[in-house]
Amino acid sequence: MSELKPGDLLLIGGSCSVQFAGDRALRLRLVSVDPRPTYHGWVWLVGYVLNDKGVAVDKREVYVQRAGVRTLRAAPAPGGQRTVRP
């Protein structure tokens, strides 16, 4: 299981918690993972909920089973090449 990083785009669905089952699933752009201990296998995540167009519509803090979180798109690696225009 890969480590979650700020900037990752995650799918939070029913496998994370029953409260996100079906049409209550959400796409979350991760801001942070709370480092405090929780029940084994669970984690607090903070991020922005994205709509169908990829626009942030709400900031949420969710408590989910880590094993159920799906990474839709990983955050770009730090220090990646960038094009600088004069």
Answer whether residue 86 shows pLDDT above 90.
Answer: no
Closest among 22, 32, 23, 21 to 60, alpha carbons compared: 32
What are the boundaries of each domain within the chain? Answer: 9-73
Question: Considering all CA atoms of the chain, what is the largest pairwise distance in Å, rounded to the nearest integer?
Answer: 51
Give backbone dihedrals phi and psi of 19, rounded to 5 degrees, phi first: -70, -15
Q: What is the pTM of this model?
A: 0.85
Residue-wise pLDDT for 16-63, tens only, equals 999 999 999 999 999 999 999 999 999 999 999 999 999 999 999 999
Closest among 40, 36, 37, 29 to 4, alpha carbons compared: 29
